[in-house]
A and B are shown apart, each in its own frame.
Chain A
Protein backbone atom coordinates (compact mmCIF):
# COMPACT_ATOMS: atom_id res chain seq x y z
CA UNK A 1 0.00 0.00 0.00
CA UNK A 2 1.94 3.02 -1.30
CA UNK A 3 -0.63 5.65 -0.24
CA UNK A 4 -0.27 8.81 -2.33
CA UNK A 5 2.61 9.08 -4.77
CA UNK A 6 3.69 12.01 -6.91
CA UNK A 7 5.91 12.18 -9.96
CA UNK A 8 8.25 13.82 -10.58
CA UNK A 9 9.84 14.86 -7.29
CA UNK A 10 11.79 17.75 -8.79
CA UNK A 11 11.57 19.66 -12.05
CA UNK A 12 13.09 22.76 -13.56
CA UNK A 13 11.22 24.42 -16.42
CA UNK A 14 11.90 27.39 -18.61
CA UNK A 15 9.23 30.07 -18.93
CA UNK A 16 6.63 29.00 -21.47
CA UNK A 17 7.30 25.26 -21.26
CA UNK A 18 4.57 22.84 -20.32
CA UNK A 19 4.49 19.86 -17.99
CA UNK A 20 2.17 17.46 -16.23
CA UNK A 21 2.39 16.40 -12.61
CA UNK A 22 0.97 12.99 -11.80
CA UNK A 23 -0.68 12.01 -8.54
CA UNK A 24 -1.70 8.43 -7.84
CA UNK A 25 -3.46 6.92 -4.82
CA UNK A 26 -4.20 3.29 -4.04
CA UNK A 27 -6.70 3.81 -1.21
CA UNK A 28 -9.84 4.00 -3.37
CA UNK A 29 -10.49 7.56 -2.18
CA UNK A 30 -13.16 9.56 -3.95
CA UNK A 31 -11.72 12.99 -3.31
CA UNK A 32 -8.41 14.27 -4.62
CA UNK A 33 -6.77 17.68 -4.33
CA UNK A 34 -3.88 19.71 -5.71
CA UNK A 35 -2.28 22.36 -3.50
CA UNK A 36 0.66 24.67 -3.86
CA UNK A 37 2.76 25.64 -0.87
CA UNK A 38 4.66 28.90 -0.77
CA UNK A 39 6.55 30.38 2.20
CA UNK A 40 4.25 32.16 4.63
CA UNK A 41 1.11 31.32 2.67
CA UNK A 42 0.27 27.83 3.86
CA UNK A 43 -1.38 25.49 1.40
CA UNK A 44 -3.58 26.99 -1.29
CA UNK A 45 -6.02 24.84 -3.19
CA UNK A 46 -5.54 24.82 -6.95
CA UNK A 47 -8.12 22.29 -8.13
CA UNK A 48 -9.94 19.37 -6.63
CA UNK A 49 -12.04 16.40 -7.70
CA UNK A 50 -14.97 14.72 -5.99
CA UNK A 51 -14.91 11.68 -8.23
CA UNK A 52 -13.77 10.15 -11.49
CA UNK A 53 -14.49 12.46 -14.41
CA UNK A 54 -15.23 15.53 -12.24
CA UNK A 55 -13.03 18.49 -11.35
CA UNK A 56 -13.57 21.88 -9.74
CA UNK A 57 -11.60 25.07 -9.24
CA UNK A 58 -10.01 25.97 -5.95
CA UNK A 59 -8.61 29.28 -4.72
CA UNK A 60 -5.77 29.69 -7.24
CA UNK A 61 -6.71 27.84 -10.46
CA UNK A 62 -5.35 30.27 -13.07
CA UNK A 63 -2.60 28.83 -15.23
CA UNK A 64 -3.40 25.23 -14.27
CA UNK A 65 -5.60 22.50 -15.67
CA UNK A 66 -6.49 19.10 -14.23
CA UNK A 67 -7.98 15.81 -15.28
CA UNK A 68 -9.35 12.80 -13.39
CA UNK A 69 -9.87 10.14 -16.03
CA UNK A 70 -9.28 7.31 -13.58
CA UNK A 71 -10.33 7.26 -9.94
CA UNK A 72 -6.80 6.61 -8.73
CA UNK A 73 -5.07 9.33 -10.76
CA UNK A 74 -5.26 13.12 -10.67
CA UNK A 75 -3.15 15.05 -13.16
CA UNK A 76 -2.11 18.70 -12.87
CA UNK A 77 -1.02 20.46 -16.04
CA UNK A 78 0.85 23.68 -16.62
CA UNK A 79 0.36 24.72 -20.24
CA UNK A 80 2.76 27.67 -20.27
CA UNK A 81 4.86 27.86 -17.12
CA UNK A 82 5.59 31.21 -15.48
CA UNK A 83 8.10 32.10 -12.74
CA UNK A 84 5.13 32.76 -10.41
CA UNK A 85 4.40 29.04 -10.56
CA UNK A 86 7.66 28.20 -8.83
CA UNK A 87 6.42 26.35 -5.78
CA UNK A 88 6.09 23.03 -4.03
CA UNK A 89 3.03 21.13 -5.20
CA UNK A 90 1.23 18.63 -3.02
CA UNK A 91 -1.44 16.15 -3.94
CA UNK A 92 -3.84 14.75 -1.36
CA UNK A 93 -6.73 12.33 -1.24
CA UNK A 94 -9.41 11.59 1.30
CA UNK A 95 -12.60 9.73 2.07
CA UNK A 96 -15.80 11.63 2.81
CA UNK A 97 -15.36 13.57 6.03
CA UNK A 98 -12.00 12.03 6.77
CA UNK A 99 -8.49 13.33 6.94
CA UNK A 100 -6.38 13.98 3.89
CA UNK A 101 -3.44 11.81 2.93
CA UNK A 102 -0.64 13.76 1.30
CA UNK A 103 1.99 12.86 -1.22
CA UNK A 104 5.65 13.77 -0.73
CA UNK A 105 5.46 16.83 -2.98
CA UNK A 106 6.94 18.04 -6.26
CA UNK A 107 9.40 20.90 -6.13
CA UNK A 108 9.03 22.96 -9.32
CA UNK A 109 11.29 25.81 -10.37
CA UNK A 110 10.43 27.96 -13.38
CA UNK A 111 13.28 30.10 -14.69
Chain B
Protein backbone atom coordinates (compact mmCIF):
# COMPACT_ATOMS: atom_id res chain seq x y z
CA UNK B 1 0.00 0.00 0.00
CA UNK B 2 1.13 3.55 -0.59
CA UNK B 3 -0.11 7.00 0.30
CA UNK B 4 0.84 10.65 0.11
CA UNK B 5 0.14 13.49 2.53
CA UNK B 6 0.58 17.09 1.50
CA UNK B 7 0.54 19.47 4.45
CA UNK B 8 -1.33 22.65 3.71
CA UNK B 9 -3.92 22.88 0.97
CA UNK B 10 -3.07 26.56 0.48
CA UNK B 11 0.28 28.26 0.88
CA UNK B 12 0.94 31.97 0.41
CA UNK B 13 4.39 33.49 -0.05
CA UNK B 14 5.65 36.91 -1.03
CA UNK B 15 7.39 37.35 -4.35
CA UNK B 16 11.08 36.67 -3.80
CA UNK B 17 10.52 34.59 -0.66
CA UNK B 18 11.36 30.93 -0.15
CA UNK B 19 8.81 28.41 -1.34
CA UNK B 20 8.43 25.23 0.75
CA UNK B 21 5.72 22.70 -0.06
CA UNK B 22 5.61 19.64 2.15
CA UNK B 23 5.06 16.05 1.10
CA UNK B 24 5.23 12.90 3.19
CA UNK B 25 4.71 9.46 1.77
CA UNK B 26 4.30 5.88 2.83
CA UNK B 27 5.31 2.92 0.75
CA UNK B 28 6.02 -0.69 1.55
CA UNK B 29 8.75 -0.85 -1.10
CA UNK B 30 11.35 1.67 -2.29
CA UNK B 31 9.38 4.51 -3.84
CA UNK B 32 9.54 6.59 -6.92
CA UNK B 33 8.49 10.15 -6.07
CA UNK B 34 7.21 12.94 -8.27
CA UNK B 35 6.14 16.55 -8.11
CA UNK B 36 3.73 17.87 -10.71
CA UNK B 37 2.43 21.38 -11.34
CA UNK B 38 -0.99 22.27 -12.66
CA UNK B 39 -1.84 25.69 -14.04
CA UNK B 40 -5.52 26.70 -14.26
CA UNK B 41 -7.51 24.73 -16.82
CA UNK B 42 -4.53 22.63 -17.83
CA UNK B 43 -3.27 19.12 -17.28
CA UNK B 44 -0.44 18.22 -14.93
CA UNK B 45 3.18 18.53 -15.99
CA UNK B 46 6.22 17.08 -14.34
CA UNK B 47 8.40 19.36 -12.20
CA UNK B 48 10.88 16.75 -11.00
CA UNK B 49 11.22 13.11 -10.00
CA UNK B 50 13.25 10.85 -7.76
CA UNK B 51 13.81 7.25 -8.77
CA UNK B 52 17.26 6.18 -7.61
CA UNK B 53 20.63 7.78 -6.99
CA UNK B 54 21.13 11.35 -5.79
CA UNK B 55 18.59 12.27 -3.14
CA UNK B 56 18.56 15.98 -4.06
CA UNK B 57 16.84 16.35 -7.39
CA UNK B 58 16.55 19.49 -9.45
CA UNK B 59 13.62 20.23 -11.68
CA UNK B 60 12.32 22.85 -14.02
CA UNK B 61 11.74 26.50 -13.14
CA UNK B 62 14.30 26.48 -10.30
CA UNK B 63 12.50 23.94 -8.11
CA UNK B 64 14.25 21.16 -6.24
CA UNK B 65 13.29 18.43 -3.77
CA UNK B 66 15.16 16.19 -1.40
CA UNK B 67 14.29 12.56 -0.75
CA UNK B 68 14.71 11.81 2.96
CA UNK B 69 14.08 8.15 3.60
CA UNK B 70 14.37 8.44 7.39
CA UNK B 71 11.66 11.12 7.43
CA UNK B 72 9.63 9.61 4.54
CA UNK B 73 9.55 13.10 3.05
CA UNK B 74 9.99 14.69 -0.35
CA UNK B 75 9.53 18.42 0.22
CA UNK B 76 9.59 20.83 -2.71
CA UNK B 77 11.54 24.08 -2.45
CA UNK B 78 12.45 27.11 -4.51
CA UNK B 79 14.72 29.84 -3.13
CA UNK B 80 12.84 32.80 -4.59
CA UNK B 81 9.17 32.77 -5.61
CA UNK B 82 8.07 34.32 -8.85
CA UNK B 83 4.56 35.41 -9.75
CA UNK B 84 4.48 32.76 -12.46
CA UNK B 85 4.87 30.04 -9.78
CA UNK B 86 1.26 30.52 -8.69
CA UNK B 87 -0.35 27.17 -9.44
CA UNK B 88 -1.40 23.93 -7.78
CA UNK B 89 1.30 21.41 -6.92
CA UNK B 90 0.84 17.68 -6.51
CA UNK B 91 3.17 15.16 -4.92
CA UNK B 92 2.87 11.55 -6.11
CA UNK B 93 4.36 8.18 -5.24
CA UNK B 94 4.65 4.89 -7.03
CA UNK B 95 6.43 1.73 -6.08
CA UNK B 96 9.64 0.86 -7.87
CA UNK B 97 9.45 -2.39 -9.77
CA UNK B 98 6.42 -3.79 -11.49
CA UNK B 99 3.58 -2.29 -9.45
CA UNK B 100 2.44 0.61 -11.54
CA UNK B 101 -0.24 2.45 -9.60
CA UNK B 102 0.55 6.08 -8.91
CA UNK B 103 -0.97 7.71 -5.84
CA UNK B 104 -1.39 11.48 -5.65
CA UNK B 105 -1.65 13.85 -2.74
CA UNK B 106 -4.58 16.22 -2.50
CA UNK B 107 -2.56 19.15 -3.80
CA UNK B 108 -1.27 22.47 -2.51
CA UNK B 109 -2.32 25.74 -4.10
CA UNK B 110 0.51 28.24 -4.08
CA UNK B 111 -0.36 31.92 -4.03
CA UNK B 112 2.42 34.44 -4.70
CA UNK B 113 1.83 37.90 -3.29
CA UNK B 114 3.46 40.82 -5.11
- For B45, the closest partner residue in chain A by CB is A102
Question: Which B residues form the contact surface with A (CB < 8 A)?
Answer: 9, 32, 34, 36, 41-46, 49, 51, 90, 92, 94, 96-98, 100-107
Closest residue of chain A to B42 (Cβ to Cβ) is A104
From known contacts A42-B107, A48-B100, infer whether A105 and B51 are also in contact, taking CB-CB under 8 Å. no
Known: A42-B107, A43-B90, A99-B34. A31 touches B43 (CB 8 A): no
- Our pick among A45, A90, A94, A96 for the contact of B43 (Cβ within 8 Å) is A90
Indicate if the CB atoms of A100 and B9 lie closer than 8 Å: no
Return the chain B residue nearest A42 by Cβ: B106
Contact (Cβ within 8 A) A97 B32? yes
Complex interface: chain B residues within 8 A of A77 (CB): none
Instruction: Flag if A43 contacts B9 (CB, 8 Å).
Output: no
**A41 within 8 Å of B (CB atoms):** yes
- A selection of 16 A-B contacts at a CB cut-off of 8 Å is A43-B90, A43-B104, A45-B101, A45-B103, A50-B100, A58-B101, A90-B44, A94-B102, A97-B94, A97-B96, A99-B34, A100-B34, A100-B92, A102-B43, A102-B44, A105-B41
Per the bound structure, the CA–CA distance linking A48 and B99 in Å amounts to: 12
Q: Which residues of B sit under 8 angstroms from A45, Cβ to Cβ?
A: 101-103
